[in-house]
């Protein structure tokens, strides 16, 4: 039945129900927070891959210098960073994993020869070029490069056996 004075209460309830259902679908199916976490992990994957490529290029260019440079980090997980700020208490910055207070400083060995700038974790409230949010670990002839705090996955890590 037509109402010449506006909408009926039934019309308003139906419109409200449609808006409510659409909102629920967007929040639970699209899940914007999950999508943001996944996007950040893709950025972390790119950073891990870039750092691993730098390490491999350095190894293939001069394996003796690379071995001497990486040896102090053997069996320790160390933060990757640059500059004078590449030192300190990193334990709290790298999730629950044990990480050394030492830092693998790429500013003297890789920048700008192998990479123009160090990748930094998307969580820029915590990480910077001094402490990038990426770690390096050299264990039993294998080099591991990973992201400290992935959001949507258990880990973001690459490794290469030398």
Q: State how many domains the chain has.
A: 1
φ and ψ at residue 9, rounded to 5 degrees:
-60, -35
State how far the Cα of 160 lies from the Cα of 162, in Å rounded to an integer: 6
**pLDDT tens digit sequence for 58-78:** 999 988 988 888 887 888 888
Sign of the alpha-carbon torsion through 27, 32, 37, 39: positive
Residue 26 domain-assigned (yes or no): no
Residue 25 domain-assigned (yes or no): no
Residue 142 domain-assigned (yes or no): yes
CB 150 within 8 A of CB 156: yes
Peptide bond into 112 cis (omega under 30): yes
Domain that holds residue 106: 44-161
Alpha-carbon 54 to chain mean position? 17
pTM above threshold 0.85: no
**pLDDT tens digit sequence for 80-136:** 988 777 777 776 677 666 788 778 888 877 878 888 889 999 987 888 888 899 999
Q: At what angle do helices 63-70 and 32-61 cross, to 10 degrees?
A: 120
Residue 134 domain-assigned (yes or no): yes
């Amino acid at each position: 039945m037509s109402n010449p004075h506006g909408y009926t209460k039934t019309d308003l309830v139906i419109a409200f129900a449609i808006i409510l259902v659409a909102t629920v679908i967007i929040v639970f199916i699209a899940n914007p927070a999950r999508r943001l976490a996944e996007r950040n992990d893709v950025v972390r994957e790119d950073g891990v891959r870039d750092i691993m490529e730098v390490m491999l290029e350095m190894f293939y260019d001069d394996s003796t210098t690379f071995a001497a440079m990486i040896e102090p980090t053997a069996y320790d997980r160390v933060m990757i960073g640059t500059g004078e700020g590449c030192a300190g208490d990193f334990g709290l910055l790298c999730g629950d994993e044990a990480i050394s207070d030492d830092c693998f400083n790429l500013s003297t060995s890789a920048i700008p020869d192998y990479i123009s700038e160090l990748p930094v974790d998307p969580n820029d409230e915590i990480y910077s070029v001094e402490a990038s949010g990426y770690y390096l670990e050299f264990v039993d002839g294998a080099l591991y490069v990973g992201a400290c705090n992935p959001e949507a996955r258990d880990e973001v890590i690459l490794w290469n056996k030398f």
